Amino acid sequence: MVRPKKYRFVSAFPKILYFKPHGMLSELEEIEMYVEELEAIKLKDLDGLKQEECAKKMKISRPTFHRIYRRARKKIAEALINGKALKIERAAMVNKRVFECLICYYRWDQRGGSCPKCGSKKIRSNFMVR
């Protein structure tokens, strides 16, 4: 039996969900890229983090991060080389806003200005996607 897929933490959802080659017809073959794959590209390539750091931010193992990252790079390469549209898919995912204390690492899902456990104001918010 296959294990259930764990939540992956994503810092933000993208504002632009569709990319296509300039001057191409609207009826292009599409490649679906998931939000977690885009987050992997952002963390590794844009933010310049090491894979271990990326995996920690997404709350997944390093091998899982590597698989997500490799899959994302392949999709981007296929879209660029073969002139396909890239569609960022988020509709099928369950997402939930989560807040995390940067001092005691306690997590909760209700908006608030401070950590309910230790009272620290040093908090960040993430999204969980599955």
Instruction: Give residue-wise pLDDT tens across range 30-53.
Output: 999 998 999 999 999 999 999 999
109 pLDDT tier (thresholds 50, 70, 90):
confident
- The CATH architecture assigned to 14-20+28-91 reads Orthogonal Bundle (1.10)
pLDDT (tens digit per residue) in 48-72:
999 999 999 888 999 999 999 999 9
Token look-up 């504002």 returns 15
Structural domain boundaries in the chain: 14-20+28-91, 94-130
> Does the reported pTM lie above 0.85?
no
Which candidate, 24, 13, 4, 14, places its Cα nearest to that of 80?
24
Contacts of 46 (CB under 8 A, 6+ apart): none
Q: Residue 118, Cβ neighbours under 10 Å: how many? A: 12
The backbone torsions φ and ψ at residue 75, rounded to the nearest 5 degrees and listed phi first, read -65, -40
User: Mean pLDDT across the stretch 23-27?
Assistant: 76
